[in-house]
Structure 1
Amino acid sequence: MTTTTSHVPEHVPEPEGPDGGVAAARPARLIHTESTTEIPVHLLFREEPTAPPAEVKLRPAVVAHRPAPEKEDRDTRDIGVRVRASAPGVDPEIVERPARVLPGIAGVLAGVCGAAGCAATAWWAGVLPAAEALGPSAGTGGLGPAQWAAFAGAGALGLFGFGGLARGRTGRAWVLELFGRYRGTVRRTGLLWVNPLLLRRRVDVRLRHWRGEPLPAADRGGVALRVAVLVVWRVRDTARATLGVEDHEGYLRACVEAALLRVPVAAPGAGRGAVQATQDALTRLVAADAGPVGVEVCAVRPLRVEYAPEVAAAMHRRRIAALDARHRAGVIGSVVDSVEDTVSRLTMRGLIDLDDYERQVLVKDLTVAFCAGRGETGP
């Protein structure tokens, strides 16, 4: 081992001997100068002057293997997806599933049977006015306990039969709950029978659009903007949209506002490519935020982009100045080309023979004349 510069004390004390005394300091110097000196390794780690060097046992090193970049990125994406899916705090057990319903004919038959049972019970109890004309089997004792029980059963059957009838419509769905517990979603159409004890919540599952008021945003330069967007969306999971959040439409508006604050919007007058990039970024961001609550976002399109009132006047002057500078640059370029072409033609055809000074004067006069003509006739 070689050392260039080191600070080692001149006297190295010896460790305690076997008799408990302390040996005198060893006056030998390990490093005599600041130049390179070879130092035996066993002298630096010696514990006993006479003891043999102890055997050193090496422990196997534990090396933490870092995953490959592709695997690490894939794991990071998977974790991000799991976190994003559980970000809104929606119960993972709330997932749309079909509810158990019966065809409408079953409810109609049950209602008719219940009505017929009520009529038969009334005839049995002799309550009907024409009971005597129906035959000697009609009762005359009034409503007793048996008649009341039969009347209650038939009435309950009729109420359940007719009360559970419902009409399913295209583009509409029902979210059913029983005592606060989700029992399924009905997307079928036609006449159906649904348990009357279930609470029904109607949900519109058609493709819908929402055009909001101008919302605050900013461009890539941080200039304040006001953007009115058109959101095309629909409810994909009725259970999450109804039970996962209090108001899925309000949640969608909040997602749009948050996306406009995070995505730089193309400034007024930007090209079609910048506008399309803004639309794609907004659509991806809003769809990722609204997806866990059962809302599918198809597109988020900026309809009107304008500067905020506090910067509108300044940006208008800046835009006019840029247009004017562009116009002046075009005019100057065309004038210079015209002057160059005129002087070149006159010289090449031998019409004039000019020295440098005369050429400069001619160029100046032609430039003034062409600029004056452009100013009068316009670009």
Structure 2
Amino acid sequence: MSTTTSHTSEPDRPAEGPVRSARLIQNESTTEIPVHLLFRDDPDPAPVALKPAVVGRRHGTGEQPRLRRPAATHRPVPRVDPGLAERPARVLPGAAGVLAGLCGAAGCAAVSWWAGVLPPLAVEALRLPLTSGAGLGPAQWAAYAGAGALGLFGFGGLARGRTGRAWVLDLFGRYRGTVRRSGLLWVNPLLLRRRVDVRLRHWRSEPVPAADASGVALRVVVLVVWRVRDTARAVLGVEDHEAYLRECVEAALARVPVETPGGTRGPGGAAGETLTRLVAADAAPVGLEVYSVQPLRVEYAPEVAAAMNRRRIAALDAQHRASVLTSVVDSVEDTVTRLTMRGLVELDDYERKVLVKDLTVAFCSGRGETAP
């Protein structure tokens, strides 16, 4: 019997269509997005600046509140003419003015001798030759004017400079310089001189309105240590630099809370540092240098003084009573504990309460207090 082995050939597989290079995701709008683009590795991803989400908060929705930028709190800085700055003025030593004045006086005497109007006694004293003189003509008057002008300019420009004082020179409204030298000087007499005190100065103010951190009205007396650093800006930059400084102090006190009377840090504290910084910043553009602004005396305003004093006295009284009561309780506890530990008495709860009450009354009476 022969076994016939039949080789059954597998049916031919249908021809596959074109092979896709990448899988695709197709959405409802027939927009195809390659999958490999969603998961590709970018070696150097470009940074993307993300802005904070800004949404409006609606009650009960759980949405985040709207982000707001903080409002600008910078105050405008006072400015003056940038070209206005102190510079030294051109002056001469006093000897030059004295010499010019003497020359003018000698010239007047010589013209008088030339014109023949010099008294004989003066001619003999000066040992000048006698002359009939040419008389007072135009030439003599011109010589008189020149010699007199020289004498006036020489003697009229003499000035005495002092240490700690300065002159701001002004010619027809134009700044011509500052004189800080001391001794005998000659300054052009046509220049307008304005004396300025450049020494270190202290100013004690009158009671100025202020407020504490709670808004209670106060009256504060401050001590300001300052000096004029730039004379040109202090004299020409503002109308009155001393009044300007006072207004700066008042404006700073209106913005800075001051410690109430009897505070832990005293009348000054942190308020003095803040006041110094604010006043120095406001006064620097006008040539003033402020070293210190310290409150000396702080008191309540008259309209709230009576109420605040009663409140303060009540607080002090409550604090004193609390301290006395704490001391009494500690003494009673120590006494009862010692009596019990040494076995001097055996007390139940009722007797312990009675003993504590009696000891409290006794200790409070000894301290001048009434039993609670």
Could you tell me the TM-score, scaled by structure 1's length? 0.75
Using the TM superposition, give the Cα deviation of residue 115 of structure 1 relative to its aligned residue in structure 2, in angstroms. 0.8
Is 1:261 aligned to 2:276, yes or no? no
CA contact (8 A) 2:113 2:133 kept: no
2:163 to 154, 162, 170: 170
2:313 is matched with which residue?
320
What one-letter code is carried by the residue in structure 1 that aligns with 2:101?
A: G
In structure 2, how many angstroms separate the alpha carbons of the residues matched to 1:376 and 1:90? 67
What one-letter code is carried by the residue in structure 2 that aligns with 1:121?
A: V
Using the TM superposition, give the Cα deviation of residue 302 of structure 1 relative to its aligned residue in structure 2, in angstroms. 1.3
Q: CA, structure 1 residues 63+343, in 2 after alignment: closer, same or farther (shift >3 Å)?
A: closer
CA contact (8 A) 2:267 2:295 kept: no
2:141 to 121, 125, 148: 148
What one-letter code is carried by the residue in structure 2 that aligns with 1:93?
A: G
2:109 is matched with which residue?
119
1:196 to 176, 179, 189: 189
Report 1:256-295 matches (<5 A).
256-272=249-265, 275-295=268-288
Using the TM superposition, give the Cα deviation of residue 363 of structure 1 relative to its aligned residue in structure 2, in angstroms. 1.6
Q: CA, structure 1 residues 120+63, in 2 after alignment: closer, same or farther (shift >3 Å)?
A: farther
Q: Which has the larger displacement, 366-375 or 253-262?
A: 366-375
Using the TM superposition, give the Cα deviation of residue 156 of structure 1 relative to its aligned residue in structure 2, in angstroms. 1.0
Using the TM superposition, give the Cα deviation of residue 355 of structure 1 relative to its aligned residue in structure 2, in angstroms. 1.9
2:94 to 100, 104, 111: 104
What one-letter code is carried by the residue in structure 2 that aligns with 1:371?
A: C
1:349 is matched with which residue?
342
Report 1:35-74 matches (<5 A).
39=27, 43=31
2:244 to 227, 236, 251: 251
Matched position secondary structure for 1:256: helix
In structure 2, how many angstroms separate the alpha carbons of the residues matched to 1:174 and 1:263? 36
Q: CA, structure 1 residues 294+64, in 2 after alignment: closer, same or farther (shift >3 Å)?
A: farther
1:135 to 129, 134, 141: 129
CA contact (8 A) 2:162 2:181 kept: yes
CA contact (8 A) 1:287 1:297 kept: yes
Using the TM superposition, give the Cα deviation of residue 245 of structure 1 relative to its aligned residue in structure 2, in angstroms. 0.4
In structure 2, how many angstroms separate the alpha carbons of the residues matched to 1:228 and 1:153? 59
Percent of counterpart pairs with the same letter?
Answer: 77
What one-letter code is carried by the residue in structure 2 that aligns with 1:101?
A: V
Larger radius of gyration: 2
Aligned length: 309
Q: CA, structure 1 residues 132+211, in 2 after alignment: closer, same or farther (shift >3 Å)?
A: closer
Q: CA, structure 1 residues 310+262, in 2 after alignment: closer, same or farther (shift >3 Å)?
A: same
Using the TM superposition, give the Cα deviation of residue 135 of structure 1 relative to its aligned residue in structure 2, in angstroms. 3.2
Matched position secondary structure for 2:367: helix
Is 1:181 aligned to 2:174, yes or no? yes
1:209 to 186, 202, 215: 202
CA contact (8 A) 1:107 1:161 kept: yes
Could you tell me the TM-score, scaled by structure 2's length? 0.77
Higher share in helix: 1
Report 1:324-335 matches (<5 A).
324-335=317-328
CA contact (8 A) 1:117 1:151 kept: yes
1:9 is matched with which residue?
none
Q: CA, structure 1 residues 254+353, in 2 after alignment: closer, same or farther (shift >3 Å)?
A: same
Q: Cα RMSD between the aligned structures?
A: 2.8
Structure 1's unaligned 5+ residue stretches are 1-36, 45-60, 67-79
1:122-170 CA distance string (max 9 Å, x none)? 111112132987436x353311122122111111111111111111011
1:226 to 187, 204, 219: 219
Using the TM superposition, give the Cα deviation of residue 196 of structure 1 relative to its aligned residue in structure 2, in angstroms. 0.8
Structure 1's consecutive aligned runs of 4 or more residues displaced over 6 angstroms after TM superposition are 61-66
1:297 is matched with which residue?
290
In structure 2, how many angstroms separate the alpha carbons of the residues matched to 1:146 and 1:275? 75
